[in-house]
């Protein structure tokens, strides 16, 4: 018997991914995600923005689903309150678009709603109880429900759920397990009552509902209700954690932005009657949830990549590589059939995508990260007599860009914990000649940009001129600093990205400059293309740009479409449409790539923390790194093994490691041209002597990770035993 085709929107969310995992053996499942890419075994997933009807229409027609479960929503209550227009677009407009697409089909529509459609005063709400949402999120769900009910056969499920996430987000139950496991105290609301259900139990109910072909409105929660405080206590008890760490508090003093309802207990008698079966209690849900704790079944949900999903196929495990799939290849092949290989619409599409990901106003794509740094320096007007400050712990391009402009690079030492630019050294190196500061977000972790911006402002007041801040974020696409994406330019003038194959997304070679300054953006555009402009307001000889023609006995000026002027000395740093087609496809996977990298880093950290001579990378509290690199600090002297010996031993086993970086000041060019010497930057030099980068890229499979960990520990362990026992001594 052929399986029914089930489409889940919001498949990267807690409920969507859990439904897919639980129901994949019973249905043929497709999934739509928006900004959080996800890969599930034997399930097709697509990036679709439901706010735009055309995004979903083609895929829905192709898949032709029998059932659509609409989970996608902006469900953060406070975010909805603060950004109401966005909440309406995601929760109401998207639902309307989906219904419009489905109108000519026979697909059953299931709308996942919320308990927040009720006013939360008396509790024990039945499906026919008056609606009275107290916050904007609840109001958008009521409006979307009304739209959904206009479609015959629609099913509305009002619910509240918890479960194990596969992303970095945490449900309430996960959060308390994680916090109490770390012996951190938590607070629970004694006056907030709900009837939450475990996602897997909800999935079982949904399957029964589909078998019965129910329609209309149903409360789909647990059959009992508890306060959130009691819920946390019950979860903790079942998990064997210390309940004394849970402090009872009132929701009234929570400081939450949106109004919360206090009693959201829901009555499930209607669902029980129509299904002909009892509904699980909260305690039963908690029991099922904790039963899954040992393996945190989420590890079986994401499709940890296996050989064959990402290209290229390699016999060795490199420290980094590109991760391309069939969608990426198709995007490039499709472009090869178009009329544009060099300059075309994909460039602007890629630039718009970069601006969206970084939160910047403008993006200029170029042919490499190095070109991006050079263009940014030129746009800032850097030239002979100027000084540009950057870190010595970086690839040489971060300093070379100043030399290209005739300026002097001034290097700083690094922070011993983050390996980023030292604030103290930066403050000491700024002079009246300083024209720019280029902080390098090493390995993906943002520099302390707020503090850097403050130091620069102080220097500007002291020296009386503008000092540009240009972030070298070649490692940091997708990283977060103080809840804002790196590249938002909240504390800088421009940010440069790189799309080399080992970076988070690739265009084969490529880079970009993002900024919020329209004038700087315009400069970057013409500097990447020979210094040529055709913008009317930038033309020097405007009379040459127009031809006077007679039209109905009147003279009119007609723009000469061929006319342009070279106003400045620029370079041919243009990226191609072909490269940007790949970039557009890769950007859709960015969130998944970061999520996978962070999972691998966590596995590494847990594996290596037992070795006293190994220091794992640290993440600053205000940062969320994309982890471009995984750099260990190893005390090779204490280990009794030279770095080259360890690297060669791993290479013999098919594992390639790397050193990031040889300090800029130690290179012959800088020593001969600028007089730098070994010994100038002791912290960076000590870091360099001990650093080693292990393999880290999204295509690294669980088996690969286990191999890296196992062989590393085996080699390290043997050497430790040899040193401890005196083996090899004569």
User: Do 564 and 421 lie in a common domain?
Assistant: yes
The answer to the question of residue 319 being in a domain is no
Q: Please give the residue range of the domain that contains residue 91.
A: 4-300
Per residue, the 3-state secondary structure of 482-498, as one string, reads CCEECCCCCCCCEEEEE
Where residue 522 sits, what CATH number does that domain have?
3.40.640.10
Q: Strand (E) positions, 331-432?
A: 362-366, 387-391, 408-412
User: Do 453 and 477 lie in a common domain?
Assistant: yes
Each residue of 55-87: pLDDT tens digit? 688 778 878 899 999 999 999 999 999 999 999
Where residue 25 sits, what CATH number does that domain have?
3.40.50.720
Each residue of 603-614: pLDDT tens digit? 999 899 888 899
Element (H, E) at 646: helix 643-652
What is the token pair recorded at 57? Answer: 């229409």
The answer to the question of residue 360 being in a domain is yes
User: Do 600 and 561 lie in a common domain?
Assistant: no
Per residue, the 3-state secondary structure of 548-575, as one string, reads EEEECCEEEEEECCCCCEECCCCCECEC
What is the token pair recorded at 464? Answer: 């009386």
Q: Pick from 584, 612, 646: which residue ends a domain? A: 584
User: Do 621 and 542 lie in a common domain?
Assistant: no
pLDDT at 395 over 50: yes
The C-alpha atoms of residue 164 and residue 167 are separated, in whole angstroms, by: 9
Where residue 626 sits, what CATH number does that domain have?
3.90.1150.10
Measured CA to CA in angstroms, residue 33 lies from 133, 172, 576, 582, 591 at distances of: 27, 22, 28, 20, 11
User: Do 359 and 455 lie in a common domain?
Assistant: yes
What is the token pair recorded at 430? Answer: 């700024």
Rg (CA), the chain: 29
The C-alpha atoms of residue 410 and residue 402 are separated, in whole angstroms, by: 9
Q: Which residue has the higher pLDDT, 729 or 282?
A: 282
Tally of domains within the chain: 3
What is the token pair recorded at 6? Answer: 């089930």
Q: What is the pTM of this model?
A: 0.63
The answer to the question of residue 445 being in a domain is yes
Q: What number is the average pLDDT over the span 575-585?
A: 95
Measured CA to CA in angstroms, residue 482 lies from 363, 449, 457, 488 at distances of: 22, 9, 19, 11
Q: Which residue has the higher pLDDT, 281 or 60?
A: 281
Q: Give the model's confidence band at 730: pLDDT under 50 very low, under 70 low, under 90 confident, else very high.
A: very low
What is the token pair recorded at 173? Answer: 């139950």
Each residue of 116-144: pLDDT tens digit? 999 999 999 999 999 999 999 999 999 99
The C-alpha atoms of residue 485 and residue 444 are separated, in whole angstroms, by: 12
User: Do 570 and 616 lie in a common domain?
Assistant: no
The C-alpha atoms of residue 391 and residue 413 are separated, in whole angstroms, by: 6
**Mean pLDDT computed over every residue of the chain:** 91
pLDDT of 719 reads: 58
The answer to the question of residue 575 being in a domain is yes
Q: Give the model's confidence band at 499: pLDDT under 50 very low, under 70 low, under 90 confident, else very high.
A: very high
pLDDT at 46 over 90: no
Each residue of 208-267: pLDDT tens digit? 999 999 999 999 999 999 999 999 999 999 999 999 999 999 998 777 888 888 999 999
The answer to the question of residue 12 being in a domain is yes
Q: What percent of the chain is modeled with pLDDT above 90? A: 74
The C-alpha atoms of residue 11 and residue 303 are separated, in whole angstroms, by: 13
pLDDT of 595 reads: 83
The C-alpha atoms of residue 635 and residue 614 are separated, in whole angstroms, by: 7
3-class SS of residue 472: strand
pLDDT at 665 over 60: yes
User: Do 45 and 186 lie in a common domain?
Assistant: yes
C-beta of residue 588 within 8 angstroms of C-beta of residue 37: yes
CA dihedral 717, 720, 722, 723 (to 10 degrees): 180
Q: Which residues contact 468 (CB under 8 A, 6 or more apart)?
A: 380, 382, 435, 436, 437, 493, 494
What is the token pair recorded at 599? Answer: 């999972």
Does the CA dihedral 381-384-386-391 come out positive or negative?
positive
The C-alpha atoms of residue 169 and residue 683 are separated, in whole angstroms, by: 36
The C-alpha atoms of residue 325 and residue 425 are separated, in whole angstroms, by: 44
pLDDT of 725 reads: 44
Q: Which residues contact 161 (CB under 8 A, 6 or more apart)?
A: 14, 15, 171, 196, 197, 198, 199, 202, 221
User: Do 403 and 517 lie in a common domain?
Assistant: yes
The answer to the question of residue 245 being in a domain is yes
C-beta of residue 579 within 8 angstroms of C-beta of residue 366: no
Each residue of 528-557: pLDDT tens digit? 999 998 888 888 998 899 998 887 778 888
The answer to the question of residue 337 being in a domain is no
Each residue of 453-484: pLDDT tens digit? 999 999 999 999 999 999 999 999 999 999 88
C-beta of residue 378 within 8 angstroms of C-beta of residue 405: yes
Does the CA dihedral 296-301-305-307 come out positive or negative?
positive
Q: What number is the average pLDDT over the span 6-12?
A: 94
pLDDT at 299 over 70: no
C-beta of residue 328 within 8 angstroms of C-beta of residue 507: no
What is the token pair recorded at 675? Answer: 């007089």
Each residue of 303-346: pLDDT tens digit? 344 333 688 888 899 999 999 988 899 999 988 888 888 888 89
Identify the residue whose tokens are 């999935």: 203
CA-based nearest residue to 473, from 505, 506, 508, 438: 438
Burial code (b: 16+ CB inside 10 Å, e: under 16) for 662-685 equals: ebbbbeeebeeeeebeeebbebbb
What is the token pair recorded at 25? Answer: 């053996």
pLDDT of 303 reads: 39
pLDDT of 722 reads: 54
Q: Pick from 547, 563, 584: which residue ends a domain? A: 584
The answer to the question of residue 325 being in a domain is no
Element (H, E) at 622: none
**For residue 113, how far is the Cα from the chain centroid?**
27
Helix axes 397-404, 369-379, angle to 10 degrees: 40
pLDDT of 180 reads: 92
Q: What percent of the chain is modeled with pLDDT above 70? A: 95
First-to-last alpha carbon distance for the chain, in angstroms, is 74
- Residues present in the chain in total: 730
Q: Pick from 530, 558, 584: which residue ends a domain? A: 584
User: Do 67 and 215 lie in a common domain?
Assistant: yes
CA-based nearest residue to 468, from 520, 428, 411: 520
The C-alpha atoms of residue 32 and residue 30 are separated, in whole angstroms, by: 7
User: Do 555 and 625 lie in a common domain?
Assistant: no
pLDDT at 727 over 50: no
User: Do 519 and 605 lie in a common domain?
Assistant: no
Each residue of 510-533: pLDDT tens digit? 999 999 999 999 999 999 999 998
C-beta of residue 440 within 8 angstroms of C-beta of residue 411: no
Lowest mean pLDDT among 34-43, 167-176, 255-264, 403-412: 34-43
3-class SS of residue 451: helix
User: Do 613 and 700 lie in a common domain?
Assistant: yes
């Amino acid at each position: 018997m052929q399986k029914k085709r089930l489409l889940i929107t919001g498949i990267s969310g807690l409920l969507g991914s859990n439904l897919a995992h639980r129901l994949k053996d019973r249905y043929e499942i497709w999934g739509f995600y928006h900004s959080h890419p996800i890969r599930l075994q034997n399930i097709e997933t697509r990036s679709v923005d439901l706010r735009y009807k055309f995004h979903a229409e083609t895929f829905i027609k192709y898949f032709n689903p029998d059932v659509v479960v609409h989970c996608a929503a902006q469900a953060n209550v406070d975010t909805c309150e603060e950004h109401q227009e966005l909440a309406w677009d995601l929760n109401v407009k998207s639902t309307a678009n989906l219904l419009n697409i489905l109108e000519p089909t026979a697909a059953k529509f299931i709308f996942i709603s919320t308990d927040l459609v009720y006013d939360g005063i008396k509790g024990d709400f039945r499906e026919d109880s008056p609606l009275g949402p107290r916050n904007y999120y609840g109001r958008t769900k009521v409006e979307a429900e009304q739209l959904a009910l206009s479609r015959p056969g629609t099913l509305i499920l009002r619910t509240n759920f918890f479960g194990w996430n596969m992303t970095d987000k945490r449900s309430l139950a996960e959060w308390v397990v994680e916090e109490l496991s770390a012996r951190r105290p938590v607070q629970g609301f004694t006056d907030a009552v709900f009837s939450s259900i475990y996602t897997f139990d909800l999935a079982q109910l949904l399957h029964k509902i589909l078998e019965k072909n129910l329609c209309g409105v149903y409360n789909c929660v647990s059959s009992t209700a508890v306060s959130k405080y009691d819920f946390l206590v019950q979860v903790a008890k079942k998990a064997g954690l210390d309940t004394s760490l849970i402090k009872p508090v009132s929701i009234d003093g929570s400081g939450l932005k949106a109004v919360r309802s206090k009693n959201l207990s829901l009555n499930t008698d209607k669902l029980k009657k129509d299904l002909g079966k009892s509904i699980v209690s909260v305690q039963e849900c908690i029991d099922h949830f904790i039963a899954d704790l040992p393996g945190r079944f989420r590890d079986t949900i994401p499709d940890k990549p296996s050989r064959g999903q990402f290209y290229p196929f390699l016999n060795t495990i490199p420290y980094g590589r590109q991760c391309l799939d069939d969608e990426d290849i198709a995007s490039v092949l499709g472009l090869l059939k178009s009329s544009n290989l060099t300059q075309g619409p994909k460039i602007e599409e890629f630039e718009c995508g970069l601006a969206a990901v970084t939160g910047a106003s403008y993006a200029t794509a170029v042919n490499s990260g190095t070109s991006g740094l050079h263009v940014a320096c030129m746009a800032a007007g850097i030239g002979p007599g100027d000084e540009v400050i950057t870190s010595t712990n970086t690839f040489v391009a971060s300093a070379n860009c100043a030399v290209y402009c005739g300026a002097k690079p001034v290097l700083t030492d690094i922070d011993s914990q983050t390996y980023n630019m030292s604030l103290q050294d930066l403050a000491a190196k700024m002079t009246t000649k300083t024209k720019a500061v280029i902080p390098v977000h090493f390995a993906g972790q943002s520099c302390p940009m707020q503090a850097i911006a403050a130091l620069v402002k102080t220097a500007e007041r002291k020296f009386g001129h503008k000092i540009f801040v240009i972030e070298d974020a070649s490692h940091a696409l997708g990283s977060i600093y103080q809840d804002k994406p790196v590249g938002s330019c909240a504390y800088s003038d421009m940010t440069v990205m790189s799309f080399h194959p080992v970076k988070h997304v690739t265009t084969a070679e490529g880079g970009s400059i993002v900024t919020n300054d329209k004038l700087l953006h315009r400069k970057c555009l013409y500097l990447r293309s020979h210094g040529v402009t055709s913008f009317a307001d930038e033309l020097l000889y405007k009379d040459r740009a127009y031809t006077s023609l007679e039209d109905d006995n009147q003279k009119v000026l007609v723009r000469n479409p061929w006319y342009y002027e070279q106003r400045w000395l620029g370079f041919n740093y243009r990226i191609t449409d072909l490269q940007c087609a790949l970039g557009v496809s890769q950007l859709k996977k960015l969130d998944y790539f970061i999520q996978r990298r962070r999972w691998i880093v966590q596995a590494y950290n847990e594996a290596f923390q037992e070795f006293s001579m190994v220091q794992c990378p640290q993440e600053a509290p205000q940062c969320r790194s994309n982890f471009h690199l995984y750099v260990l600090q190893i005390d090779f002297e204490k280990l009794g093994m030279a770095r080259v010996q360890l690297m060669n031993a791993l290479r013999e086993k098919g594992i390639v490691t790397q050193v990031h970086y040889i300090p800029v000041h130690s290179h012959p060019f800088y020593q001969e041209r600028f007089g730098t010497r070994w010994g100038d930057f002791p912290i960076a030099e000590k870091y360099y002597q001990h650093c080693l980068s292990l393999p880290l890229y999204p295509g690294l499979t669980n088996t690969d990770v286990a191999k890296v960990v196992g062989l590393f520990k085996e080699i390290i362990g043997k050497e430790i035993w040899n040193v401890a026992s005196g083996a090899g001594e004569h």
